[in-house]
Structures are given as C-alpha cells and as structure tokens.
Amino acid sequence: MPDYRRNRIPGGTYFFTVNLLERGSSLLFTHIQDLRDAVRTVRARRPFHIDAWVVLPDHMHAVWTLPDDDTDYSGRWKAIKIAFAKSLPKAERLSAVRAAKGERGIWQRRFWEHTIRDEQDYAAHVDYVHINPLKHGLVTRLKDWPHSSFHRCVARGIYAPDWAGQGVEDVFAGERGV
C-alpha cells in the first residue's frame, strides 16, 4: 500500500480538492444543505477557519486555516465525508471491494492537499477556488454561482462583483508545467 505523506504544520493554511467517486455526478449540488450541515457539525467539534470554499456538482476546493496547535485536517475531512454520506440514502453503486469493507460509494478515498507557503501562494489559491465555476463553464459570471465564498469576499471588498480571475490560470499553468 502506498505511503501517503502529508505536510502537517500546526496552525497551517491548506488548499484542498475533494472529489466525489463518480465524476459527472451532481450530488454535492443537489444535496448542498446536507454538505453544509456536515461541515457545520464538524466545525462545532473541531474548529477551523474557512478562508475560501467553492462547491461544484462533483468536487470542491477549499482553503482552511487550522487552530494554532492543530494539524489534523485529514480527520476533519474524514468526519465531513462520513456525516455527508450518512445523510444520504444508500442508492449508490458499490464495488465488491467497497462493499466488503462496509464503505459507501460516494467519495474518492483520498483528497489533494497543498500547504500554503506565503501570502502570494495564499492569494493565488484563494483566487483559484473562486474562479472554478467559471473555469468549468457552470456560469458566465462568478456572482451567479451560489455555492462559493466569493460572495463573502465581495462583501468584504476583496473582489469586485464583476471579478473574473484574470491571470489566475497563468499562475497555475507554471505549476503544472503547461
């Protein structure tokens, strides 16, 4: 079994991508209140700050900052995934392996994490979170996507209401080697 090593910094800020098992599903969008309830429940027991978040139909991106003495973002994601799965009827297809392990067929097992290095990295990842509905062709204006912290950022004066992420893709193209 692979040895997945995660960077853990007490009080760190992290960017995440979390995917449904079945890409192309709209489960997160159609059950957004269940997801919100799961996040609210986990945050009540194990606090973290949501710096940015966008929920798309089949995946989500987030930037979180943990409390000063805490490194356990994996436990929080596990709890969110479990709470969300428990809120849904058991209607998904299950592989023989998942069924044998008593798992649900909702989430990909892993998630992608990146430790934020500095203010420039932070700004780039927060922008990337917010540009995603436009990037995936879900809207033509970011203000039209309801499941994003973009609206909170507009209210705080961080973004203009018509912001469209100019230059965001250029920042990440260099990281992907494109």
Domain range annotation of the chain: 13-176
- Residue 34: both structure tokens together: 């269940």
Residue with tokens 């700004």: 123
- Mean pLDDT of the chain, nearest integer: 89
pLDDT above 80: residue 94: no
Cα separation, 12 vs 21, in Å, equals: 27
Q: Lowest mean pLDDT of 45-59, 61-75, 78-92, 147-161, name the range.
A: 78-92
What integer pLDDT is reported at residue 114 of this predicted model? Answer: 96
Per the CB < 8 A criterion, the answer to whether 53 and 32 are in contact is no
What integer pLDDT is reported at residue 170 of this predicted model? Answer: 56
Q: Residues 135-161: what's their mean pLDDT? A: 95
pLDDT above 80: residue 31: yes
Phi, psi of 155, deg, nearest 5: -60, -30
pLDDT above 60: residue 3: no
* pTM of structure: 0.88
Query: What's the CATH code, domain 13-176?
Result: 3.30.70.1290
Residue with tokens 């436990």: 75
Q: Residues 148-168: what's their mean pLDDT? A: 89
